[in-house]
Amino acid sequence: MILGIESSCDETGVALVHAASNAPRLGGLVSAPYPVPTLLGAALHSQIDMHRAYGGVVPELASRDHIRRLIPLTNEVLAGANIALSAIDYVAYTCGPGLAGALLVGAGAACALGSALGKPVISVHHLEGHLLSPFLSADPPEFPFIALLVSGGHTQLMRVDGVGEYALLGETIDDAAGEAFDKTAKLLGLPYPGGPQLAKLAEGGDSAAFKFPRPLMHSGDLDFSFAGLKTAVLTQIKRLVGDVPEGATVRGAGIDSLNEETRRNLGASIQAAITEVLVKKSLKAVQQSGLSRLVVAGGVGANRSLREQLNAACAKVGIRVHYPELHLCTDNGAMIALAAAMRLQAGKAQSSRGYAFDVKPRWPLDQI
Ligand code: KG4
Ligand code: ZN
């Protein structure tokens, strides 16, 4: 019975996962069926409303709010699953990457709880949680596969041969895909976090109305670059509405003067520029590897247009594509408990009864 705690950014997530202790080891298995841990309960508090007034995450406010939420959320999960605190066998927490102060709250709470219960704690890599989250879906993947990790802070293609066996194939050289969504959405006057808002605006828009750059699309490697997109979008908006001061959010400076159709077309064209590169490079990674499975994880994995394009492109060439359940795409406690559970099953968990904790705000996934 593993309690998972996520507090790396602006979501406080707590969840309880049960993993069969007599399960065959996952590590060496490639295609055989294996018992996927079961999610018994989960609770989440999103800080989005609190940060919205500032247009982005305010780290100090995030840390303080995690402190307020963690214990009530833990009680909620245990009560909902009808499990006593004493029945927990391990406490898992996100150790990094993320905001240092926010991570420290989760790490501190997890180690205090582990210490009080006399149960070991397990530190988890946030991206490993995202990467493994499709195992909790109705259509779980099998190893090996290529993973496209697309979140607010990361855009990476990894080859995954088993739990803890991750090789980086390519990544963004500047902004992450989620960051590109968020920054361009801000230019369109949409509130934080812009990704889902921009996706909504794009519905019914013409994705060919504006030509935005697809950097590194034909670079031959598996890297990405999204920083140029916001400049291209700003230039386009200036052209449409007249001059806008550099760095200004365009809201109030003319964006509202654009008609609904133009705004939708801008949204759809931006979304297409981001998703087209993601689809193209993901397929290339799978085909280069000789594998036949793709896993998509992280907040941007919730994007419907991305899913539709990936499904269509993968179906054409016989690649199976797996996603987390929509509510497990963005940050949550379930993926942290799951990653700890799968590591335990694989004999690869570093559990500790030391309770001295440290966090790793920067922590490459292939260096676990
Ligand atoms: O994985 P996540 O919750 O947090 C990080 O670890 O970064 O990802 C958050 C990111 C944000 O940039 C958000 O705008 C983006 O995922 N996002 C989306 C959608 N839902 C969330 N981007 C595009 N379309 C969506 N539907
Ligand atoms: Zn995340």
Which atom in ligand 1 lies closest to the alpha carbon of residue 154? 7
- pLDDT band of residue 248 (cuts 50, 70, 90) is low
Measured from the Cβ of residue 366, the count of other Cβ atoms closer than 10 Å reads: 13
- CB distance 42 to 5 below 8 Å: no
pLDDT score, position 367: 82
What is the Å distance from ligand 2's center to 275 Cα?
18
- CB distance 298 to 151 below 8 Å: yes
Fold category of 2-137+328-367 in CATH: Nucleotidyltransferase; domain 5 (3.30.420)
What is the mean predicted confidence (pLDDT) over 301-309? 98
- Nearest residue by C-alpha to atom 3 in ligand 1: 330
Asked if the domains at 2-137+328-367 and 145-323 fall in one CATH topology, the answer is yes
Fold category of 145-323 in CATH: Nucleotidyltransferase; domain 5 (3.30.420)
- CB distance 337 to 15 below 8 Å: yes
Q: How far apart are the first and last CA of the chain?
A: 23
Ligand 1 lined by 275 (C-beta under 6 Å): no
Query: Tens digits of per-residue pLDDT, 78-100?
Result: 999 999 999 999 999 999 999 99
Closest CA to 141 of 338, 333, 363: 338
What is the Å distance from ligand 2's center to 331 Cα?
5
- CB distance 121 to 93 below 8 Å: yes
What is the Å distance from ligand 2's center to 127 Cα?
7
Closest CA to 135 of 42, 19, 305, 281: 19
Q: At what angle do helices 227-241 and 177-187 cross, to 10 degrees?
A: 20
84: phi then psi, degrees, rounded to nearest 5: -80, 150
User: Hey, where are the domains in the chain?
Assistant: 2-137+328-367, 145-323
Q: What residues contact 78, with CB distance under 8 A and at least 6 apart?
A: 16, 41, 84, 85
For residue 128, which ligand has an atom nearest its CA?
2
- pLDDT band of residue 106 (cuts 50, 70, 90) is very high
For residue 194, which ligand has an atom nearest its CA?
1
Ligand 1 lined by 199 (C-beta under 6 Å): yes
For residue 196, which ligand has an atom nearest its CA?
1
Q: Rounded to whole angstroms, what are the CA distances from 259 to 2, 204, 267? A: 51, 14, 13
Best residue among 181, 274, 275, 305 to mutate for probing ligand 1, ranked by most atoms within 8 Å of CB: 181
Ligand 1 lined by 6 (C-beta under 6 Å): no
Closest CA to 19 of 90, 86, 72: 90
Ligand 1 lined by 194 (C-beta under 6 Å): yes
What is the Å distance from ligand 2's center to 131 Cα?
10
What is the b/e burial string over 139-157, where b = at least 16 CB atoms within 10 angstroms of the residue's CB?
eebebbbbbbbbbbbbbbb
Query: Tens digits of per-residue pLDDT, 38-78?
Result: 999 999 999 999 999 998 999 999 999 999 999 999 999 99
